[in-house]
Structure 1
Amino acid sequence: MFKQLIILVLLAVAANAWSFTVWTEDNRAGKHRYYFDVKAGNNCFNFDSEITRERVGSFSFCSMAWTRCTVSIHSEPNCNGENLGSATAAEPIGRWYKASTSSKGSYMKSFRIQGCKGVPELGNLDNQVCSADIPYL
């Protein structure tokens, strides 16, 4: 039992609490940028200018169920401007994948992560990671 508890704690420490990946083309193609946090931090993040100078063609957000993070996407830097959409984590892994963004969504400039719980509830811990969001090299 103790050994299993240690493994669960290590998985909680090693897994990404959330990840957000953007690509410049549809269907996870083109240049990409992978944002993530292992500590379930809540903050606003601006997309890299290398991405926004072109467009955001597709994206994927993933949140581990034990963090319950919410994401909102904004039309301007620093999470200003129009809220272009949002999603909340669901069991067991919350995933929001958009294969092709709308014309309005393709010009997103920032995203906000909020509502994250920083401490995993070991009884509900899911050891899967948001592996589909990790860009292939």
Structure 2
Amino acid sequence: MHKQLFVLLSVLAALAHAWSFSVWTKTGYKGKRRSYFDVQASNGCFSLPTDITRPGVHSFKFCSMAYTRCSITMHSAKACGGSVLGSATAGGPTREWLKSSVSQAGSRMKSFRIQGCKKVPLAGNLDVSKCRGE
């Protein structure tokens, strides 16, 4: 019985992303989209491609599962340089930050950093409907 539960939790964990972040070039989650996600709760900096940054980021969705507690900062320059345009600190049970329309300054986003992710053993209930790839 315990072995079956462990296998089930392992399968469910593989389906859930530790964090996900999607950006769109138009408001209302329309236009060109670029999605990033990670199942391993990795930290790092990600630069957005020119086909997204040229028209600008006009909407986004960020999600972090509670068991990873990942946070995000958005930057005005590539390689997480420039000024911080916005940030979200992870909290529980699931941290979601949905912006169907961003500010003029926010639309100049060129990169983002995922940080503070915790790699912890999975236990308890996982809501695999959250933080799935778009």
What is the TM-score normalised by the length of structure 1? Answer: 0.89
| Matched residue count | 133
User: Take 1:68 and 1:114, find their aligned partners in 2: how far apart are those partners?
Assistant: 9
**Equivalent in the alignment of 1:9:** 10
User: 1:26-56 CA distances to partner (integer Å, 9 max, x unpaired)?
Assistant: 0100000001111111000001111001110
Q: Is the 8 A contact 1:79 1:111 kept in 2?
A: yes
SS at match of 1:36: strand
Report % sequence identity. 53
Moved over 2 A (4+): 123-129
**Equivalent in the alignment of 1:112:** 113
Q: Is the 8 A contact 1:22 1:34 kept in 2?
A: yes
User: 1:111-136 CA distances to partner (integer Å, 9 max, x unpaired)?
Assistant: 000010123441364433324x60xx
**Match for 2:46: what amino acid?**
F
Q: Is the 8 A contact 1:74 1:84 kept in 2?
A: yes
What is the TM-score normalised by the length of structure 2? Answer: 0.91
User: Take 1:101 and 1:110, find their aligned partners in 2: how far apart are those partners?
Assistant: 15
Q: Is the 8 A contact 1:19 1:63 kept in 2?
A: yes
Tell me, which stretches of 5 or more residues in structure 1 are unaligned?
none
Structure 1 residues 1-137: aligned runs within 5 Å = 1-2=1-2, 3-123=4-124, 125-131=126-132, 134=134
Superposition CA RMSD, Å: 1.5
User: Take 2:119 and 2:49, find their aligned partners in 1: how far apart are those partners?
Assistant: 26
User: 1:63-103 CA distances to partner (integer Å, 9 max, x unpaired)?
Assistant: 11111000000001111111011112222211001110100
User: Take 1:55 and 1:127, find their aligned partners in 2: how far apart are those partners?
Assistant: 31
User: Take 2:90 and 2:121, find their aligned partners in 1: how far apart are those partners?
Assistant: 14
Q: Is the 8 A contact 2:15 2:128 kept in 1?
A: no
SS at match of 2:13: helix
